[in-house]
Amino acid sequence: MKLTGSQIVMEVLLEQGVDTVFGYPGGTALNVYDSLYDYSKKITHYITAHEQGAAHAADGYARSTGKTGVVFSTSGPGATNLVTGIATAYMDSVPLIAITCNVSDNMIGRDSFQEVSITGVTLPITKHNYFVNRIDDLADALRNAFRIANEGRKGPVLVDITKDVTAMKYDFEPRTPLPLSPNPKFNEKDIEEIADIINISKRPVVYFGGGVVSSGAQDELLELLNKADIPATYTMMAAGVIDYENPKNLGLIGMHGTVAANKTVDEADLVIALGTRFSDRVALNPNRFAHKAAIIQVDIDASEINKNVNINYSVIGDVREVLKALLPHVKATKHTEWIDQVTAYQKTVRVDMPGAKLRPKEIIDTICDNTDKETIYCTDAGQHQMWAAQYVKHHNMHRFITSGGLGTMGFGYGAAIGAQIANPDKRVIHITGDGSFHMNMNEACTAVTYNLPIITVIFDNRVLGMVYQWQTVFYNKHYSQTILNRKTDYAKVAEGFGLKGYDCSTLEEFEAAFKEALTINGPVWINCHIDKEERVLPMIPNGGTIDNMIVD
């Protein structure tokens, strides 16, 4: 059947099982949006306040479901406004399809109105991208985009389509989604070798990351921990894989990780790294990281092996497939002495300013104690992000959504919108700071328009908290451009957007506001005044080790 290019876009989306897209229309995208009008009963489009918010919403939709997020934009500034969202997804290995429309092919290269080579711009931050200026390439480019985004290490793919292609007609034949390329095959002898290493280890620890979530390896990981009696620590990307009450759970690792997690890795004789990349926020001093241990690394991306830390044993493959092959070779054992030693590392760290009326941990405890285990938490980047990673009572995968690799301020509200749309039956809590929130608070209009019951909790310390903390500790209190003292009245701004807002200075006020917010059918903001001297602790400085950990 003959269809226009814009109709082909819709048909391929349906082939891929897409029923939800986010975006913002514009001149070069008019044909696509005209076809979207005709497909509106099959594909629901959510318009955001800004294209960056749309990209983050598609990202949050993907992270909270395991599906592929899809975002539309027009050319020029519309496309470039997606860049931060695409880079965020790239750094955290999130499957995302960005479909942009460019000027017509005969106008390319002439500095035409709103012309940008978005494929050139996004080349370093996509798994692959396509420039489609021939209609006979369109369907295959879109189908391959979904395949590439989801096979191996997941990530974003961009498809840029010239406007004339969206108007042309072409013979279209429906197809089923392309099969994903098989995961890398690993050698059974390698599996047996690392099993032998695990079996003779006296002080093993598992350190895992987002690859466990991407591969769906939660059950296999827990089986390994229980069978071989191994404690575990994780990166932010893997929060929730192990229940926070699980005695094997050492908590977060790295710069703001727990004393127990960092001390255990430092004393271990074996580190089993699963689906994680030894980032500079974990291996702050690569030459000293796990310096007493042999290191096994399992990752689907061969480029991550020996990239940041020298590895003794490696297996390139899907984490779940590797663990399934490994488990029969791992002996059931007990590491009683090691577990007792690790338990002794658990140490209470002062986390709040003495005498403060409203403390970060108390805020998060109140949220967790009044919501269920299926609650989804979305954050921006900064102190509040780390407090959330440390204190949220994590229970399940896909329930903690944050920008780990890129550390994107302004990510949280868009991500919360995508997560709430994807999970209408679940509670979504957006935890943010006043610095981050000012970047994309305009997405409140999106939450109001679609009546999304997102509760936004603002940690308002009137400074750029994390940078302020570093300036305090390392820069002689030279507070260059970090003391904001903005006069924003969040309750009044909320009212202007058409939502309910609260202002809290004490724990009692927050408890009352939060309980009321849970009864409101629509978005809510709760502003929490906290002390600017609150710290994210523990903290290991860049280049430091456990010996340099600041705990007070």
Cα radius of gyration rounded to whole Å, the chain: 24
Phi–psi pair at 66, nearest 5 degrees: 85, 0
Distance between CA atoms of residues 73 and 85, nearest Å:
12
- CA 271 to centroid of chain Cα atoms: 24
Both tokens of residue 68? Answer: 């592929």
CB 253 within 8 A of CB 274: no
User: 500 in helix, strand or coil?
Assistant: strand
- CA 357 to centroid of chain Cα atoms: 31
CB 261 within 8 A of CB 233: yes
- CA 146 to centroid of chain Cα atoms: 19
Residue position matching structure tokens 């793919």: 157
Distance between CA atoms of residues 20 and 454, nearest Å:
19
How far does the chain reach from its first CA to its final CA, in angstroms? 69
Sign of CA dihedral 232, 238, 241, 242: positive
Both tokens of residue 299? Answer: 């990752």
Phi–psi pair at 500, nearest 5 degrees: -90, 135
- CA 375 to centroid of chain Cα atoms: 16
Q: Indicate which residues carry an active-site annotation.
A: 51, 113-114, 163, 466
